[in-house]
Amino acid sequence: MSHLSPVRTGAAGQGDSTRVPLVQATDLAKTYGAVRALRGVSVSIAPGEVVGICGQNGAGKSTFVKLLTGLERPDTGELRVRGEVVGFGSTLDGQKAGISIVDQELALVPQLSIEENMYLGHREVPLVGGKRARRARCQEILDQLGLGHLDPTTPLRYLRIGERQLVEIGRVLARDAQLLILDEPTATLSNAEIERVFAAVREVSAQGRSVLYVSHRLGEVLDLCDRVLVFGDGLLRGTHRVDQLDRGRLVQLILGEAGVVDSGHGVPRDGTATGPLELILDGLEIPGRLQPVSLTVRSGEIIGLAGQVGSGADDLVRALGGLVPEARGSATVGDASPLGSPSRARSAGVRFVPGDRRGEGLFLADTVRSNITATSMSRFSRLGVISRRGQRRLAEERTRVVGVAASKIAAAVGDLSGGNQQKVLLGRSLDETTPRVLLLDEPTRGVDVAGRAEIHRLLKDAAAAGCVVVFASTEIDELFDLADTIVTMAAGGLVGIHDKSSVTADHVLAEMANAGAQEASHV
């Protein structure tokens, strides 16, 4: 098939069974600005192989996958498919080379039917006709995935979230791709549904096609894969055959040298969890995404919601911030309910720091001064007229509290580092009276180590002043650094509630990866 001779030296898979690796990546590197997302990774995947990819967030998994599918171009390094060097410009090129991906964020169009979605962007769909054949094939795939009861002409928007996920997986099956990349494919699925996915993956592998399986759920990786690639800090930390691994060993590999987190290493604080009850959740739920959650939190307590994509941890935080109008059940802060709208949450004393700082948090083109005072203009205005001096004074005070240099007060907030941006958001939230509840989604995403420590200190100070802090995080280190109580979540429901001192990182990681206990969320 190739006019180029296969690489003869060094590469893995030189054994007699796999003459030419299906995909061979050599020394791939990718830098985004100052972030070295991938620092030279070489991987070779043989036909029929099922390869798992594990690693913490920011380890470089996503970047690696993007390079493979053609969504991004590598800065350096070389990618060969069946021995031929490829340079992808788009996902369509990736498709031509036989690589298809199921992204964790679904790429489905609700208005189209199941069949249309399954064949959307499929490069072999003719302009006219062929619909009957496609429907038949679609029905076969649906049967294979356990969705045989669905008609291919059903509009996608009438499917539950788990069913949609399966349709997306069906799309790569329909494409007859040689390499299927599944990125967190089971986050929203029930056990029965996951079994279907596994069966489909095994069948694909039996046909000699390869699968790349990216997952936080270690059990699934160990069950399904032949090999596991462990990423860390933009490097491939190691390749391991699963038959030489167990769960504990894999957790250690993923956590790296800081493997076993010292569960006591956060700064100890006085008076945790002894204050009065401040935040009470009673059956708070979001139909279709979050099963009823009941929880009581004391003044001064820091709660870490540990959960991966689709776990519902971020949904819970957003609901408490008033950003999920469809939330049901009750949540009370003192006497008030924060549910319904952000302004209601505000008047209940709740402050929300969004995870998407640039999209939902900051007014990027505005100055630090303007951003940090955006929600408390009443403090320096009379009859609606702003006192600029008052604004400046308040901004100076707040930047000092959160530790943003005074010289940056007139700078556009979009030009600041992630850490400083997050501090500005925190400064905005920590207004006159300390908020009663401070909510954060991924408090230190995209923040460097130093900034991270400062932000953690600020949050602990807020808690020491009596504020309830609830944050959602996917990072084990952060959960153990910051939280008093760790609440693990998976598949849209609560798994466990642990005092930090009485739980290990392994255990938390295992519970975060637990799809087992509950059924998947249903619409």
The answer to whether 415 contacts other proteins (rule: CB under 8 A) is yes
Work out which of 77, 342, 403, 516 binds other proteins, going by CB under 8 A: 342
- At 391, list the tokens: 């604004």
In order of 96, 102, 177, 291, 443, the CA distances from 167 in angstroms are: 21, 10, 16, 23, 33
Work out which of 377, 401, 453, 464 binds other proteins, going by CB under 8 A: 377
CB distance 453 to 485 below 8 Å: no
For residues 45 and 182, which CB has a smaller minimum distance to other proteins in the complex? 182
Task: For the chain, report the end-to-end CA distance as a whole number of angstroms.
Answer: 47
CB of 480 to other proteins, least distance (A): 19
CA 141-518-502 angle, 5° bins? 135
Stretch that binds other proteins, among 190-198, 290-298, 307-315, 454-462 (CB under 8 A): 307-315
Residues numbered 244 to 303 that lie near other proteins (CB under 8 A) are none
The answer to whether 443 contacts other proteins (rule: CB under 8 A) is no
CA 377-378-384 angle, 5° bins? 95
CA 24-182-69 angle, 5° bins? 45
The answer to whether 148 contacts other proteins (rule: CB under 8 A) is no
Work out which of 62, 205, 399, 488 binds other proteins, going by CB under 8 A: 62
For residues 418 and 516, which CB has a smaller minimum distance to other proteins in the complex? 418
Nearest to 224 by CA among 247, 199, 246: 199
The answer to whether 183 contacts other proteins (rule: CB under 8 A) is yes
CB distance 190 to 520 below 8 Å: yes
Q: Please state, in angstroms and rounded to a whole number, the distance separating the CA atoms of residues 122 and 100.
A: 10
The answer to whether 49 contacts other proteins (rule: CB under 8 A) is no
Residues numbered 445 to 474 that lie near other proteins (CB under 8 A) are 445-446, 448, 474
For residues 252 and 417, which CB has a smaller minimum distance to other proteins in the complex? 417
The answer to whether 442 contacts other proteins (rule: CB under 8 A) is yes
The answer to whether 132 contacts other proteins (rule: CB under 8 A) is no
Nearest to 458 by CA among 440, 473, 472, 475: 440
Work out which of 46, 141, 293, 362 binds other proteins, going by CB under 8 A: 362
For residues 105 and 243, which CB has a smaller minimum distance to other proteins in the complex? 105
For residue 439, list its beta bridge partners. 352, 470
For residues 226 and 431, which CB has a smaller minimum distance to other proteins in the complex? 431
The answer to whether 492 contacts other proteins (rule: CB under 8 A) is no
The answer to whether 323 contacts other proteins (rule: CB under 8 A) is yes
For residues 214 and 245, which CB has a smaller minimum distance to other proteins in the complex? 214
For residues 75 and 461, which CB has a smaller minimum distance to other proteins in the complex? 75
The answer to whether 482 contacts other proteins (rule: CB under 8 A) is no
Q: Angle formed by the axes of helices 418-429 and 388-402, to 10°?
A: 120
Work out which of 193, 278, 301, 314 binds other proteins, going by CB under 8 A: 314
How many residues bind other proteins (CB under 8 A)? The answer is 101
Stretch that binds other proteins, among 250-258, 274-282, 403-411, 453-461 (CB under 8 A): 403-411
Other Cβ atoms within 10 Å of 325 Cβ, number = 10
The answer to whether 365 contacts other proteins (rule: CB under 8 A) is yes
The answer to whether 352 contacts other proteins (rule: CB under 8 A) is yes
CB distance 413 to 449 below 8 Å: no
For residues 245 and 404, which CB has a smaller minimum distance to other proteins in the complex? 404
What contacts 511, CB < 8 A, 6 or more positions away? 306, 488, 490, 495, 496
Stretch that binds other proteins, among 274-282, 362-370, 457-465, 497-505 (CB under 8 A): 362-370
For residues 266 and 361, which CB has a smaller minimum distance to other proteins in the complex? 361
- At 408, list the tokens: 């940056």
Residue 61 Cα to chain centre, angstroms: 12
For residues 20 and 147, which CB has a smaller minimum distance to other proteins in the complex? 147
- At 42, list the tokens: 């070489």
CB of 396 to other proteins, least distance (A): 16
Residues numbered 29 to 48 that lie near other proteins (CB under 8 A) are 32-35, 37
The answer to whether 149 contacts other proteins (rule: CB under 8 A) is yes
422: part of which helix (H) or strand (E)?
A: helix 418-429
The answer to whether 155 contacts other proteins (rule: CB under 8 A) is yes
In order of 21, 184, 233, 257, 493, the CA distances from 218 in angstroms are: 26, 11, 19, 19, 19
Q: Please state, in angstroms and rounded to a whole number, the distance separating the CA atoms of residues 64 and 140.
A: 32
Q: Please state, in angstroms and rounded to a whole number, the distance separating the CA atoms of residues 239 and 243.
A: 12
Work out which of 359, 389, 432, 433 binds other proteins, going by CB under 8 A: 359
Tell me the Cα Rg of the chain: 25
For residues 401 and 412, which CB has a smaller minimum distance to other proteins in the complex? 412
The answer to whether 26 contacts other proteins (rule: CB under 8 A) is no
Work out which of 232, 304, 355, 496 binds other proteins, going by CB under 8 A: 355
For residues 1 and 383, which CB has a smaller minimum distance to other proteins in the complex? 383
Report DSSP state, residue 412.
Answer: B
CB distance 484 to 302 below 8 Å: yes
Report DSSP state, residue 475.
Answer: -
Q: Please state, in angstroms and rounded to a whole number, the distance separating the CA atoms of residues 137 and 142.
A: 9
